[in-house]
Structure 1
Amino acid sequence: MYQRNFKFACDLIRRLRRICDGTSSTILEPLCGRPLGIKFNPVTCDLYIADAYFGLMVVGRNGGPAKQLASSAERIPFRFTNALDIDPNTGVVYFTDSSMYFQRRQYPMLIESGDRSGRLLKYDPRNKQVTVLRRGLAFPNGVTLSKDKSFLLVAESDSRRILRFWVEGESVIYSPQPFAQVAQFPDNIETDRNGDFWVALNTKRGNDKTDLVAVKLDGSNGNVLDVLEGNKQNALDSVSEVEEHGGYLYAGSPVQPYVVVIKA
């Protein structure tokens, strides 16, 4: 289906390619960066990047080195910038900072500690301001806007739940509502063309017959519509994102050097 790839963007102008290119070393992550959430603004074609160490960044439509947009909010540095989504109508970027104390390479400690210092934030490119929308979240991870842009969903990984934040105009209702509870750690969330949601279940694959690696949630009430089963295959180890497009599911993982393509 896809025959080749090419380098489109990088995190830093002075990136040490000899050290950083192709490395999976967590020790080098603070030096080399670690992109997690990436998404194009469909209007401007700018690529926004949530880098775990360098914060919120952007690359123009022609690619090249990324420009840092934000690395802190309320004078508190981002420690674990994670996922993002973009409202194409306003250009506002919603993103998560998973912890105020632990970095990505320390995520096992984050989980074990019960840390609840994560934040949901927004970046407005019109005034270049970052606003904290919600504090005190337990490992906030994936974030996505609903199809009609009336609400946000945020995966709170350590609580194994999906939270809904209603959006009114350009304001977000700060008190979330529970949208769904899942059996394993939810990671990224993607909205499909029908307005439903695929939630990747990144860790703690079950020993039962189902071996769930992702669930599809009804966009109106959070009920489970479909599941993606791993069938004990290593190819679907630590799935971090599932996106449905053109009749296929595309599953990505931070520990595998490929994308799994499955007929939906």
Structure 2
Amino acid sequence: MEYFTITLITILVSAVAITLQVFFFSPISPDLLELPPSPPFFTPNNHLQKVIKLGEGILKQPEDVFMDKKGVLYTATRDGWIIRLHKNGTIENWKKMHNRHTLLGLIKTRGGDLIVCDTEEGLIKVSEDGDVTSLATHLNGESIRFADDVAEAPDGSLYFSVASTKYGLHEWHLDFLEAKPHGQLLKYDPFTKETTLVLDGLGFANGVAVSMDQEFLVVCESMKFRCLKYWLKDEKRGKVEIFIENLPGSPDNIKLAPDGSFWVALLQFSSNKMKFIHSSKAIKHLLATFPKLFEQIKATGRSAMVMNIGSDGRIIKTLDDPNGKVVSFVTSVLEFEGNLYLGSLKNDFIGKLPLESVL
């Protein structure tokens, strides 16, 4: 009887302790989130299982990829390197930025400078000679803490996303669980060297790309399963429209294709498990308090999907690896000279997919 009493007291004390930890010391203040009710159904096609692995075992989770006009591919890895893959197959450790896991989106400007998003240091410029300059580190006196992706506008301005103004890179899951719009789209003017707010209240702002006619840009809202169109020119300048919504995954990076369409990488956050999580604040508190539970539930590392979207916002084609057999957690997709190049936050290579193999 005494053993039973002690066991019961232990269980009750543990239950109270967990309850207090979850509901009174939770790191988030969550909202409920309605995921897309009926995203388009796509028959798995396994096309991404045909990828050729570039730099396998050398590249550490290359999140984004960019190709210059000469066909040199740039990527940033989790160990703080900017790496170049040359057309002859050689891999060059070009610039060591630091030892942190904070480098995300990158582009090369028309002037030849590399622009990199650093989630701790903001927007950074790396010249052809490797000289590093901080461009945008603060907005209205506050540090820019989660710069995510960047695109260059016709006038040389740099538009870049801030995924969250509340949480950093290593707390990204808390932003998703909290489900509040902490994201922004910012603009850096290289002439005045000023950083200004363009759009606020975005649901985990992610990929940014400018249209071929340079009349608008598209910014992805990962949390809202949609992309927005922001007009850059003429009478529509500054207006915002929905470019595409109800996507079958969370849009990550987006890239302009040679024909004027866009390629976007989609992360799998729309599963039935995630729908259940977003329907309960109590479960959100629990997962925020015990992040290893969230790691077991999220499915981003178990599959891969990329989508080609026309400049009119209509879906053209979808390619996937539904079981993550060859490639998974694809975060960026770039088309260049008849091939797709895939970045990832899980793989140790860049995937190369000849488009002729999936036509």
TM-score category, normalised to shorter length:
0.7 to 0.9
Corresponding residue for residue 27 of structure 1: none
2:146 is the counterpart of 1:63: no
**What's the secondary structure of 2:92's corresponding residue?**
coil
2:309 is the counterpart of 1:217: yes
Asked whether the equivalents of residues 33 and 51 of structure 1 are also in contact (C-alpha less than 8 Å), the reply is no
* Residue deviations 1:173-193 (CA, integer Å, cap 9, x gap): 1x4211112111100000011
Corresponding residue for residue 80 of structure 1: 146
**What's the secondary structure of 2:170's corresponding residue?**
helix
Q: Which amino acid aligns with 1:166?
A: W
More strand by share: 1
Corresponding residue for residue 95 of structure 2: 9
2:114 is the counterpart of 1:47: yes
**What's the secondary structure of 1:236's corresponding residue?**
coil
Runs in 1 of length 4+ with deviation above 4 angstroms? none
Measured in 2, the distance between the counterparts of 1:205 and 1:257 equals: 25
**Gapped runs of 5+ residues in structure 1?**
21-31
Asked whether the equivalents of residues 183 and 202 of structure 2 are also in contact (C-alpha less than 8 Å), the reply is yes
2:210 is the counterpart of 1:124: no
Measured in 2, the distance between the counterparts of 1:206 and 1:212 equals: 14
Q: Which amino acid aligns with 1:73?
A: L
Measured in 1, the distance between the counterparts of 2:322 and 2:337 equals: 23
Which one has more relative contact order, counting CA pairs under 8 Å at least 6 apart?
A: 2
**Displacement of 1:229 after TM fit?**
1.4
Q: TM-score, normalised by structure 2?
A: 0.63
Corresponding residue for residue 36 of structure 1: 104
Measured in 2, the distance between the counterparts of 1:119 and 1:258 equals: 30
Q: Which amino acid aligns with 1:81?
A: A
Measured in 2, the distance between the counterparts of 1:201 and 1:259 equals: 16
Measured in 2, the distance between the counterparts of 1:205 and 1:156 equals: 14
Measured in 1, the distance between the counterparts of 2:214 and 2:207 equals: 16
Corresponding residue for residue 28 of structure 1: none
**Displacement of 1:196 after TM fit?**
0.2
Alignment of 1:146-185 (within 5 A): 146-168=211-233, 172-173=237-238, 175-181=239-245, 182-185=247-250
Corresponding residue for residue 266 of structure 2: 201
Measured in 1, the distance between the counterparts of 2:90 and 2:126 equals: 21
Measured in 1, the distance between the counterparts of 2:271 and 2:327 equals: 13
Asked whether the equivalents of residues 213 and 236 of structure 1 are also in contact (C-alpha less than 8 Å), the reply is no
**Displacement of 1:233 after TM fit?**
3.1
Percent of paired sites with the same residue: 27
Measured in 2, the distance between the counterparts of 1:203 and 1:9 equals: 32
Measured in 2, the distance between the counterparts of 1:115 and 1:8 equals: 38
**Gapped runs of 5+ residues in structure 2?**
1-86, 273-302
**Displacement of 1:77 after TM fit?**
1.5
**Displacement of 1:79 after TM fit?**
1.7
Corresponding residue for residue 106 of structure 1: 171
More helix by share: 2
**What's the secondary structure of 2:115's corresponding residue?**
strand
Asked whether the equivalents of residues 33 and 54 of structure 1 are also in contact (C-alpha less than 8 Å), the reply is no
RMSD of aligned Cα (Å): 2.1
Corresponding residue for residue 246 of structure 1: 337
**Displacement of 1:235 after TM fit?**
3.0
Measured in 2, the distance between the counterparts of 1:205 and 1:7 equals: 37
Find the structure with the greater CA-based Rg.
2
**Displacement of 1:225 after TM fit?**
0.3
2:238 is the counterpart of 1:137: no
Measured in 2, the distance between the counterparts of 1:149 and 1:122 equals: 16
